[in-house]
Amino acid sequence: MKRILLAVSGLSPAVITETIYALFMEKKPVDELHVITTGGGKGKLLETVLSPYEGKLQALIDEYEMPPIDYNPQTNLHVLKDANGKEINDILTPDDNEILLTKCLQLTHEMTTRKDTTVYFLVAGGRKTMTSCLALAAQFYGRPRDRIYHVLIAPSEVERAKSTKTDRSFWYPPKEKQKYSYTDFTDGKVRTINSKDIQVNLINLPYVPARYFLSEQLMDEVKQPADLLAGLIRDEKPALTISLSERKLIFGSMLEAELTHPTWLALYTFFAVKKQECILDESCDNCEKKICFLDFNEISSSDSDIQSIRQMILKKFEEIPDEFPSVYKSFKKEASFNPAKHKINEIILNAFGQSIAPALQISDAPIPLSARTGKRTKKFGILLDRERITIEWKADKEVGTE
Ligand SMILES: [Zn+2]
Locate the domains of the chain by residue range.
2-150, 156-197, 240-399
How close is the Cα of 16 to the center of ligand 1, in Å?
49
Please provide residue 120's backbone torsions phi and psi, each rounded to the nearest 5 degrees. Answer: -105, 120
User: Using CA atoms, how far apart are residues 201 and 108, in angstroms rounded to an integer?
Assistant: 24
> What's the gap in Å between 243 CA and the centre of ligand 1?
22
User: May I ask the CATH architecture of the domain 2-150?
Assistant: 3-Layer(aba) Sandwich (3.40)
What pLDDT is recorded for position 367? 74
pLDDT exceeds cutoff 80 at 27? yes
User: 160 C-alpha vs ligand 1 centroid, how far in Å?
Assistant: 59
Ligand 1 centre to CA of 275 (Å) is 6
Report the percentage of the chain scoring pLDDT > 70.
Answer: 87
In this predicted structure, what is the pLDDT of residue 400? 38
- Residue 373: the pLDDT is 66
Question: How far is the C-alpha of 173 from the C-alpha of 175, rounded, in Å?
Answer: 6
Percentage of the chain with pLDDT > 90?
42
Average pLDDT over residues 196-213: 85
**Rounded to the nearest whole angstrom, what is the distance from the C-alpha of residue 252 to the centroid of ligand 1?**
21
Instruction: Output the CA 381–ligand 1 centroid distance in Å.
Output: 9
Compute the distance between CA of residue 105 and CA of residue 8 in angstroms, rounded to an integer. 13
Measure 80 CA to ligand 1 centroid, in angstroms.
Answer: 53
The string of pLDDT tens digits covering residues 258-292 is 998 888 999 999 999 999 988 887 777 777 778 88
Between the CA of 329 and the centroid of ligand 1 the distance, in Å, is 26
Q: Does the pLDDT at position 213 exceed 50? A: yes
* C-alpha 272 to ligand 1 mean position (Å): 10
pLDDT digits (tens, 9 = 90+) for 82-121: 989 999 988 888 888 888 989 999 999 999 999 899 999 9
For residue 378, the cross-strand partners are 366
Query: Which has the closest alpha carbon to 360: 236, 218, 204, 212?
Result: 212
- List C-alpha distances in Å: 283 to 130, 202, 224, 275, 336: 43, 42, 36, 12, 32
Average of per-residue pLDDT across 245-259: 86
72 CB burial (10 A radius; 0-12, 13-18, 19+) = exposed
| CA pair distance 379, 278, nearest whole angstrom | 14
**Is the predicted pLDDT of residue 327 greater than 60, yes or no?**
no
Alpha-carbon gap, residue 349 to 251, rounded angstroms: 12
Report the side by side order of strands in the sheet with 162-163: 162-163, 179-183, 190-194
Ligand 1: distance of its center to the CA of 367 in Å? Answer: 15
67-71, 206-210, 241-245, 252-256, range with greatest mean pLDDT: 67-71
How would residue 321 be classed by pLDDT, with cut points 50, 70 and 90?
low
pLDDT > 70? residue 229: no
Single pTM value for the model: 0.61
Count of CB atoms within 10 A of residue 339's CB?
Answer: 12
Q: Which pLDDT score, from 0 to 100, does residue 381 have?
A: 95
Q: For residues 37 and 79, is the Cβ–Cβ distance under 8 A? A: yes
**Secondary structure of the chain: what % helix, strand, coil (to 5)?**
40, 20, 40
Secondary structure (H, E, C), 220-260: HCCCCHHHHHHHHHHCCCCCEEEECCCCEEEECCCEEEECC
Question: Which parts of 114-200 fold into alpha helices (H)?
Answer: 128-141
